Structure 1
Amino acid sequence: MKTPTRRRALLAVTAMAAVLATGAAAAQGGYPTRPVTLVVAYPAGGDTDVLARLFAEKLTARLGQPVVVENRTGAAGTIGSAYVAKAPADGYTLLFAPNTLAIAPLVLKPGTGASYDPQKDFTPIIELGKQSLFIIVNKEAGVTKVSDLVARAKSGSLQSYASPGNGSPMHILGELFNKSAGVKLAQVPYRGSAPAIVDLLGGQVPMMFSTLGPVSQYFASGKLAPLAVADQKRSPFAPNVPTLVELGYKDVDVGAWQAVVGPKGMAPELVGSLNKHFNEILKMPDVVARMATIATTPVGGDPATLRTLIANDYARYGKLVREFGIQAD
């Protein structure tokens, strides 16, 4: 038989548990009760868009509400990013972004769309994957190795490269390669990788700096070829392609990452819930396999790790932008 004191203690514990449960539910607000928008600031067909659609499908099944990918392009991705920065912090508008998120505001002039601070205007949720950057050439350009490319650039017969936009990691890599190789290749910026690849295939531009995913399908046919990778080590997705370091070009180690962020001020409980979902999706064998097809290595982790990554990239690339005087309209 329970004593009155023990009964009161049990009632108090039960009441406290109910309060905590109610508080947690209130913090989540029953999220989600309507569709979630995952904004991609680049055109359809590029790595970011492909990955966003993969994760949107998996997240839809887990949340029980549609997760819709919306492409809001322009100004090197800053239009879509700024849109999310100004959205309500309720978890219904999220941004799926590469590390251009941290770089583009350093390069673009005021008034061009880069009206956000990557460190202050977003809530980090998770880093999803890392990617290597490669030098890719159109085979008809007659270039089979980096030394050929440099010789052609110095002679003036090869003058430009395509990039997916001003302030992209590929743009930064182009500037670093120019310095290391002693050449002056001019950037031709596009609104994402997909349109840049169209012109690369058509011969309008002879080369580009790119992740492997959007271009690897053209290697077997002989239309495009990778010459080098901008990592300290060779990529497991292209082990026969040498690094620029191996070939004698220093200080050209530039990579890319993909992440999810939300507007600033999102509730920690909501961020934690989304982070858990994404981490668990990253463990799915079919997701790992799909990411491998576009040469993306799964990462995962907590929001704090992504916050540090954004801050480090902002500092590192800020220094490079100032050093090279990189600025685009």
Structure 2
Amino acid sequence: MSFKRREMVRFSAAATVLVASGARAQSWPARPVTLIVAFPAGGDTDAVARIYAEKLTLQLKQPVIVENRPGAGGAIGTAYVAKAAPDGHTLLYAPSPFVIAPHVLRLSAATRYSATEDFTPVIKDARLQLVLVTATSTGIRSVEQLIAEAKAGRTLSYASPGAGSPMHIVGEMLNKAAGVSIAHVPYRGSAPVVADVLGAHVPVGWVTPGTVVEHIRAGRLRALAVAGSDRSRVLPDVPTLKELGYKGIQVDAWQGLMGPKGLPGGIVRTLNQHMNEILKMREVVAKLISLSIEPAGGEPIGLTQQIVQDDERFEKLVKEFGIRAD
């Protein structure tokens, strides 16, 4: 049995219903539920968590309270949930970099966690594309032109929201696939990336659509490509890297709900059912699309598979490119 298969079997078993947990699940929730977001208030992850918290409060008939515990690249809040009691009263709402962080951060004993071992997946609820953008003033009109200019000797760089982010990784994947060395410029978050790309202080930047879609529509920025397996619902006219000939570069960002390891199966089922119902609500879909986030959904196994696959893939890529975060 391959390593990946063993991981899938073990991780799936951790998220499977245990008969002995039924009694505990029936009395849940007995008090308010805390939904941890391991990043500051105001970002995409926080905004979406608050949408779900409002709806889950009505469905669970107990307050669902979003609590921000930022720091250490998300490791502080994530590790807090990993160590919480698996009783369904402390949950984690996390973006996909939570899988990458243990491979690129120098974590202390207090903040160390395993994405595949310390959590019980509930649902992958949202998908976010990664988009490569440039200011219209740069004159760069396509990925082909960007690569051609890099090969011709023009000094170029690309911005990302941080070392070790999915945007950093996809930037290095494009470098390798195209045979160029466009320099990486790491920022602390998406807002300064957008500001410096708008000002043409850095030629191109990798971000998520929500941070740039209005600038694209206003003609201030040009979207060159998205890195997902298919085109974005938010930016349907923008080609994928795969369409442009870079078939091995497919990186999607996502968000998901999970609890600590050992979360009872009855609680997992209840949360998963409620979340799937929420994701079908017209007003929720409208809010997500307004944030340039594509709703997902499905069974817990979907998030389980995503985490295991990402962990294996990004561990290799981080080592290959020698990526470390500050």
Report the TM-score when normalising by structure 2. Answer: 0.84
Answer whether contact 1:52 1:69 (CA < 8 A) is retained.
yes
- Rounded to whole Å, the distance in 1 between the matches of 2:237 and 2:302 is 32
Match of 2:215 among 209, 214, 218: 218
Is 2:48 aligned against 1:69? no
1:315 corresponds to: 312
2:14 corresponds to: none
Q: Which amino acid aligns with 2:307?
A: I
Answer whether contact 1:124 1:307 (CA < 8 A) is retained.
yes
1:266 corresponds to: 263
Match of 1:31 among 24, 28, 35: 28
2:239 corresponds to: 242
The 3-state SS of whatever aligns with 2:170 is helix
1:79 corresponds to: 76
2:5 corresponds to: none
2:52 corresponds to: 55
Offset from partner CA, 1:204-230 (integer Å, 9 cap, x none)? 433221221221011122222211111
Report the TM-score when normalising by structure 1. Answer: 0.83
1:98 corresponds to: 95
Answer whether contact 2:163 2:323 (CA < 8 A) is retained.
no
Q: Which amino acid aligns with 1:303?
A: P
- Rounded to whole Å, the distance in 1 between the matches of 2:281 and 2:252 is 24
- Rounded to whole Å, the distance in 2 between the matches of 1:225 and 1:277 is 38
| CA shift for structure 1 position 235 | 2.5
| CA shift for structure 1 position 110 | 4.2
Is 2:184 aligned against 1:187? yes
The 3-state SS of whatever aligns with 1:219 is helix
Q: Percent identity between the aligned chains?
A: 52
Provide the aligned C-alpha RMSD in A.
2.6
The 3-state SS of whatever aligns with 2:173 is helix
2:251 corresponds to: 254
Identify if the C-alpha distance between structure 1 residues 204 and 43 changes in structure 2 by more than 3 Å, giving closer, same or farther: farther
After TM superposition, the structure 1 stretch with the greater mean CA deviation from structure 2, 313-322 or 242-251, is: 242-251
| CA shift for structure 1 position 68 | 2.3
Offset from partner CA, 1:69-88 (integer Å, 9 cap, x none)? 22333333223212221222
Answer whether contact 2:21 2:265 (CA < 8 A) is retained.
no
After TM superposition, the structure 1 stretch with the greater mean CA deviation from structure 2, 234-243 or 106-115, is: 106-115
Q: Which amino acid aligns with 2:221?
A: L
Bigger CA radius of gyration: 1
- Rounded to whole Å, the distance in 1 between the matches of 2:171 and 2:292 is 20
Q: Which amino acid aligns with 1:217?
A: E
After TM superposition, the structure 1 stretch with the greater mean CA deviation from structure 2, 91-100 or 36-45, is: 36-45
Match of 2:206 among 200, 209, 214: 209
Is 2:124 aligned against 1:140? no
- Rounded to whole Å, the distance in 1 between the matches of 2:92 and 2:68 is 10
Identify if the C-alpha distance between structure 1 residues 149 and 289 changes in structure 2 by more than 3 Å, giving closer, same or farther: same
The 3-state SS of whatever aligns with 2:222 is strand
- Rounded to whole Å, the distance in 1 between the matches of 2:184 and 2:110 is 20
Offset from partner CA, 1:127-171 (integer Å, 9 cap, x none)? 102222110122333322213322444566553322233332212
Unmatched segments (≥5 aa) in structure 1: 1-22
- Rounded to whole Å, the distance in 1 between the matches of 2:36 and 2:195 is 23
- Rounded to whole Å, the distance in 1 between the matches of 2:47 and 2:155 is 31
Q: Which amino acid aligns with 1:175?
A: E
Is 2:95 aligned against 1:116? no
Q: Which amino acid aligns with 2:321?
A: F
The number of equivalent residue pairs is: 307
Unmatched segments (≥5 aa) in structure 2: 1-19
- Rounded to whole Å, the distance in 1 between the matches of 2:188 and 2:91 is 20
Offset from partner CA, 1:292-322 (integer Å, 9 cap, x none)? 2233332222222321221111112222222
Q: Which amino acid aligns with 2:172?
A: E
Answer whether contact 1:163 1:209 (CA < 8 A) is retained.
yes
- Rounded to whole Å, the distance in 1 between the matches of 2:134 and 2:90 is 37
- Rounded to whole Å, the distance in 2 between the matches of 1:24 and 1:263 is 14
- Rounded to whole Å, the distance in 2 between the matches of 1:157 and 1:65 is 58
Identify if the C-alpha distance between structure 1 residues 74 and 204 changes in structure 2 by more than 3 Å, giving closer, same or farther: farther
1:284 corresponds to: 281
| CA shift for structure 1 position 29 | 6.7
- Rounded to whole Å, the distance in 2 between the matches of 1:112 and 1:267 is 26
Structure 1 segments (4+ residues) deviating >6 Å? none
Answer whether contact 2:22 2:264 (CA < 8 A) is retained.
no
Q: Which amino acid aligns with 1:57?
A: E
Offset from partner CA, 1:112-131 (integer Å, 9 cap, x none)? 98610101111111110222
